[in-house]
Amino acid sequence: MRRYYLSKLCQALVTISLVVLVVFALLRFMPTTGYFSKEEYREMDEVARNAYLRSLGVLDPTLVQLKNFLAKLFRGDLGRSMTLYPKSRIQDILRDKIKYSVMFNAFSWVVSAVIGMPLGIAMAKNKGGFVDSAGTAYVVAVRSIPSIIIHFFVQVYLSKWLGLPMLFKMNQPASWILPTISLSLGSIAGYAIWLRRYIVDEENKDYIKFARVKGFSQNYIMVRHVFRNAIVPIAINFPSDLLMLISGSLVIEGLYSIPGMGGILIKSIQAMDNNLVQILVLLFSTLSVFGVFLGDIFVSFVDPRIKLQDKED
Amino acid sequence: MKRKLASLMVTILLLSVVLSGCGGKTPAGPEVSYWDEYKSTFSSGITTLNPFTLPGTSYYTFIANIIDGLVETDVYARFVPALAERWETNEDTTVWTFYLRKGQYWVDSTGNKTQWEITAQDFVDSLKYVADPANGAKNVSTILGVVKGLRAYYDDLADIDEGIDIGKTRDEVVAAFEETVGVKALNDYTLQYTLSGPTPYFLSYATLELFLPIEKEFMEQVGEDFGTNKESLLYCGGYYISHWERDKQIIMTKNEHYWDKDKITLKSLNFEAVADGISSVELFQRGQIATTSLTSEELASIKSTEWEDYVYLSDKTLTTYWFTFNFKSKNPEFQTAIQNLNFRKAIYAAIDRVTLSAIWEPENPEFFCRYTLLPEGCMFDENGRDYTDYPGLIEYKNGNPFQPEKAREYMETAIAELCDAEGNIKGVVPGTKVDMLPIEEFTVDGKLPIDILYTSGSSETEMKKALLVKEMLTTYLGEENVNVILGFSRNSFTNEVWALGNWDLVDDSYGFRFGDPSANLNRITTDGSLNDSQYEVPEFDALVEKANRIYTINERYAAFAEAEKWMLDNAMIIPYMTGGGSYRMTRVVPYTTPQGYFGMAGYKFKGAKIQDKPVTKEQHAQLKAEYEEALRALSGN
């Protein structure tokens, strides 16, 4: 048991260090001309360009930069952004932004679980019936229409019909509704269709048929056997969903002007903001690796078939 | 109670009728009501407000309103006092002395006066800050050559940081700043700049962000955080930042301690992030913001609605677009041909500028064509005469150089000079391989047609332009004479094209930084920083050199005009278009705010009036006519 956790933990740490090191090295291969606009590049002479690069700290040898980065990191200092938010403390940037993404992702998570799971169960119970067809139609529509179009309709038309504000404002809770709807549409469909599928799979298994023959009530079978087994493939993602609450949606945050984490990684790569990219990569890779790790552990509690403990433990 | 209230209201109503009657001429139309707040949007976040390391000129909108410089401009773009009450300069304009307003204090992000007074030392400290390469003020290159000793100071520090031993330590160099660099606080309220050479146009530099003051003690307190949030800045402009939420909103509130606070008409300036342009037009129509720009699609969508009447075209900018040739091209056919004056003139006459300008502005393309290298409407001599109206240039300014018949004639002459009877280009070895990878690779045959590689960026409009230029050259010069090869850079134009010289013909654009022809003419000399063409033009160099040493404005302009004319006569560079010209709608009454072309001059909201109803075309035209009338009256013509 302990050995299992330890080996998983080591794997996780190795993965994270490799990702961070590779990204760190790759960033240093980018040509430094990217730090200047076309006119700046020509207006500044060699001396001025070098001086500017030095002030950014990109002229130091890669190993020195790595050493500085790690030393700071262990002191709990995330450093300062270079070009995307010049000189701002990265911890301030993240603190400002993470709260918005977490807020909306949490809303959407709750909304989609509360609507999506019952929908999936209802579809499975009612296989081939009206609810099932309607649900399938919804899922197909959400999955096949490009999401940007759906978001656009939600923003423009729903805001008109319901009289809701188009742009997000923190002190105006009515403006939180549309972004939450936009964020939830897709994941409701996800929860519904997967849960339906797992339940249907499970219901066709022999032990369920046997239970039915034994005369257990349908509800007892559903709760006691079917749901508990069907939820496993979904439950394995819970921990990583929880951790990844901090990653924002590029499109939706942009549309509603939510100053969250959406697109910050892309923007920082475009701005060649090495410091910020490193921290973000470290953060996201740690969270996703640990998400998987925690998922494994979490499942061992949910899934009746998995026991990590040895008998004598 | 009710009755009392009613009678009170009646009284107020009557009073207001009487009072508005006193206004004299009351037009029949509806009352114009004004906003007391400017509301606008920004699309990309405000990332830093350190005035010396601004990522772009769009940030001037913020900085110009929160920190005052020595001088500012009025609605007629004339320099007027700001933090400096008055100024004077010596005979040859090498020494400029500014006398500061007394009793001006820095204000913090709550709008309260701090203990720090704005003194001459604040300006010395700020120059010291930007002159230190470690602080990463990119724009400092613009002024390194202007203030005496600044370049040497900067280079010394850069060398030391590079690890080169110059016999002095960093601390020694920094300590000697005030002796070596030409800026001095004679006393608390007297500031003196000593310049590298006579600079009659120094005031247009003084509006740059690089000459803004800073409070050293405060800087030391906040350290590296300077300018990263509202608390880590001090303010001395018409507004201070009262709210700054990263990537979301920024609110500037009127500074009650501002020296000119009576002219601050708006109580706050409010900027909010909006992701795409659609919502900004939508917000404008809903009356939530004061101005918006329109893309051509948005313009089409409001055509023949009531909103059409509010659309106007923003003014052209000082930026000039031009074509340049590669005189040291790796392509031997072009390299040989381009040395020939008639060949250059042929290309010069074959480019239809109006058609190119129509890519951006189909309705009124002529308006955005520019046939001189330097912009019009920003440099005037004592008599109010525009630099581009000087003899030699005015002919270029007013005549359309696109002349297809002439182009053909020049081409014939050029071919007669360049080729032998069989159409072999003299001096070109047939079968030479031209390696311009990653752009293009081809083999030249040493015969007509002459191969020309036109390298362009890969945006949609740039590609459109490239196709048009190809069409023009082949049509007007003859398919049998020129063969235009189009090449497109994939990622970085700098890396793939400029650095490797992978081009024969290229399109480029340049801004214009300060109010003197030398701003750009000095940069296109043989050794100039914009001479990517690698031409050698000793005649032009000599003309510029001569002009640089003349300090009476009209003689100076005449001399520069002569130099510029030489460049155009010899078709070394082909100017064709101005920057600017986007469609906009606005509620800000035109010409109520300070105008200006250089530095932060045109960005202040001082005196702004924002009317509830958008400005119509008619109102715009009327105000423009009145404004131009007033300008003419001022210049005495």
pLDDT score at A5? 82
Helix (H) or strand (E) holding B210: none
pLDDT score at B30? 58
Q: Are strands B583-586 and B312-313 parallel, antiparallel or unpaired?
A: antiparallel
CB contact under 8 A, B142 and A43: yes
Report chain A residues touching chain B, CB-CB < 8 A: 31, 33-34, 36, 38-45, 47-48, 50-52, 54-56, 80, 83-89, 92-93, 96-97, 166-167, 254-257, 259
CB contact under 8 A, A31 and B492: yes
Given a cut of 50, the residues of chain B with pLDDT beneath it are: 1-3, 5-6, 8-28, 277
Interatomic CA distance for residues A250 and A147, integer angstroms: 12
Task: Calculate ∠ Cα B295-B355-B318, nearest 5°.
Answer: 65
CB within 8 Å of A88: residues ≥ 6 apart: A80, A81, B47, B48, B228, B229
Neighbours of B551 (CB within 10 A): 15
Q: Hey, what are B127's tokens?
A: 């120059």
**Chain B hits for A41, Cβ within 8 Å:** 494, 498
Nearest CB partner across the interface for A50, out of B162, B225, B529: B162
**Chain A hits for B273, Cβ within 8 Å:** 257, 259
Distance from CA of A246 to the nearest CA of B (A): 17
Q: Hey, what are A123's tokens?
A: 């579809």
Interatomic CA distance for residues B133 and B131, integer angstroms: 6
Nearest CB partner across the interface for B530, out of A42, A47, A83: A42
Interatomic CA distance for residues B51 and B616, integer angstroms: 35
**Chain A hits for B279, Cβ within 8 Å:** 166-167
Mutation target to probe the B interface, by most B beta carbons within 10 A, among A29, A32, A55 is: A55
Interatomic CA distance for residues B373 and B573, integer angstroms: 8
Distance from CA of A34 to the nearest CA of B (A): 8
Nearest CB partner across the interface for A33, out of B155, B494, B532: B494
Q: Find, in chain B, the residue whose alpha carbon is nearest to that of A37.
A: B494
**Chain B hits for A38, Cβ within 8 Å:** 493-494, 498
**Chain B hits for A95, Cβ within 8 Å:** none
Residue B73's beta-bridge partner residues?
B79
Mutation target to probe the A interface, by most A beta carbons within 10 A, among B43, B44, B47 is: B47
Distance from CA of A204 to the nearest CA of B (A): 49
**Chain B hits for A47, Cβ within 8 Å:** 155, 158-159
Task: Say whether the ipTM exceeds 0.95.
Answer: no
Closest CA to B265 of B623, B19, B611: B611
Beta-strand ranges (E) seen in B295-449 are 312-313, 316-325, 432-436, 440-444
Nearest CB partner across the interface for A41, out of B133, B158, B494: B494
Interatomic CA distance for residues B296 and B275, integer angstroms: 18
Helix (H) or strand (E) holding B96: strand B95-100
pLDDT beyond 90 at A119: yes
CB contact under 8 A, A42 and B529: yes
Mean pLDDT over the full length of chain A: 87
Nearest CB partner across the interface for B247, out of A50, A55, A259: A259
CB contact under 8 A, B247 and A89: no
CB contact under 8 A, B225 and A89: yes
Q: Cβ-count burial of A145 within 10 angstroms (0-12 exposed, 13-18 middle, 19+ buried)? A: exposed
Q: Find, in chain B, the residue whose alpha carbon is nearest to that of A39.
A: B510
Q: Find, in chain A, the residue whose alpha carbon is nearest to that of B497.
A: A38
CATH 1.10.3720.10 assigned to A92-274? yes
Distance from CA of B84 to the nearest CA of A (A): 30
Cis bond upstream, residue B449 (ω within 30): yes
Beta-strand ranges (E) seen in B362-449 are 432-436, 440-444
Given CA atoms B529, B531, B532, B535 in this order, what sign does their dihedral have? Answer: negative
**Chain B hits for A92, Cβ within 8 Å:** 228-229
Nearest CB partner across the interface for A48, out of B141, B224, B493: B141
Q: Find, in chain A, the residue whose alpha carbon is nearest to that of B157.
A: A51
**Is the distance from CB of B542 to CB of B371 less than 8 angstroms?**
no
Angle, in degrees to the nearest 10, between helices A177-203 and A130-144: 130
Q: How many residues does chain B have?
A: 637
pLDDT score at B27? 43
Domain boundaries, chain A: 92-274
Angle, in degrees to the nearest 10, between helices B341-350 and B460-477: 120
pLDDT score at A248? 80
pLDDT score at B128? 95
Interatomic CA distance for residues B186 and B98, integer angstroms: 10
Residue B41's beta-bridge partner residues?
B272
Closest CA to A290 of A5, A1, A9: A9
**Is the distance from CB of B551 to CB of B92 less than 8 angstroms?**
yes
Distance from CA of A174 to the nearest CA of B (A): 18
DSSP B500: T
pLDDT level of residue A299 (50, 70, 90 thresholds): confident
pLDDT tens-digit map of A141-190: 998 998 888 888 888 888 888 888 888 888 889 989 999 999 999 899 99
Interatomic CA distance for residues B295 and B330, integer angstroms: 40
**Chain A hits for B272, Cβ within 8 Å:** 167, 257
Interatomic CA distance for residues A222 and A219, integer angstroms: 5
Interatomic CA distance for residues B106 and B534, integer angstroms: 49
Distance of CA A294 to the CA centre of its chain: 15
Interatomic CA distance for residues B589 and B378, integer angstroms: 22
Q: Find, in chain A, the residue whose alpha carbon is nearest to that of B41.
A: A257
pLDDT tens-digit map of B517-562: 998 999 899 988 888 899 999 999 999 999 988 888 889 999 999 9
The pTM (predicted TM-score) of the whole model is 0.82
CB contact under 8 A, A85 and B47: yes
Closest CA to A254 of A100, A138, A123, A120: A100
Q: Cβ-count burial of A22 within 10 angstroms (0-12 exposed, 13-18 middle, 19+ buried)? A: exposed
Q: Find, in chain A, the residue whose alpha carbon is nearest to that of B530.
A: A42
**Is the distance from CB of A52 to CB of A44 less than 8 angstroms?**
yes
pLDDT score at B315? 80
Neighbours of B322 (CB within 10 A): 18
- CA count, 13 A, side-chain hemisphere, B77: 19
pLDDT level of residue A62 (50, 70, 90 thresholds): confident
pLDDT beyond 50 at A28: yes
Cis bond upstream, residue B438 (ω within 30): yes
Nearest CB partner across the interface for A47, out of B134, B158, B279: B158
Interatomic CA distance for residues B374 and B386, integer angstroms: 11
Interatomic CA distance for residues B37 and B269, integer angstroms: 6
Distance of CA A278 to the CA centre of its chain: 18
pLDDT tens-digit map of A238-291: 888 888 888 888 888 888 888 889 889 988 988 889 999 999 999 999 998 888
CB contact under 8 A, B47 and A88: yes
Nearest CB partner across the interface for B274, out of A39, A51, A167: A167
**Is the distance from CB of B25 to CB of B223 less than 8 angstroms?**
no
Domains of chain B: 65-228 (3.90.76.10), 275-314+583-601+611-635 (no CATH), 317-580 (3.10.105.10)
Three-state SS annotation for B313-326: ECCEEEEEEEEEEC
Nearest CB partner across the interface for B161, out of A42, A44, A54: A54
Q: Find, in chain A, the residue whose alpha carbon is nearest to that of B156.
A: A47
Helices (H), B90-235: 120-130, 141-144, 150-162, 170-175, 177-180, 202-206, 216-222
Distance from CA of A13 to the nearest CA of B (A): 33
Q: Hey, what are A299's tokens?
A: 């499942």
**Chain A hits for B155, Cβ within 8 Å:** 47
Q: Find, in chain A, the residue whose alpha carbon is nearest to that of B244.
A: A96
Nearest CB partner across the interface for B134, out of A50, A55, A86: A55
pLDDT score at A308? 59
Name the 3-class secondary structure at B26: coil
DSSP A35: G
Q: Find, in chain B, the residue whose alpha carbon is nearest to that of A262.
A: B247
Residue B585's beta-bridge partner residues?
B292
Q: Cβ-count burial of B364 within 10 angstroms (0-12 exposed, 13-18 middle, 19+ buried)? A: exposed
Q: Using CA atoms in the order B419, B348, B531, B333, what is the torsion angle rounded to 10 degrees?
A: -20
CB contact under 8 A, B276 and A55: no
Given CA atoms B602, B607, B610, B616 in this order, what sign does their dihedral have? Answer: negative
pLDDT tens-digit map of B472-502: 999 999 999 999 999 998 877 877 888 888 9
CB contact under 8 A, B133 and A166: no
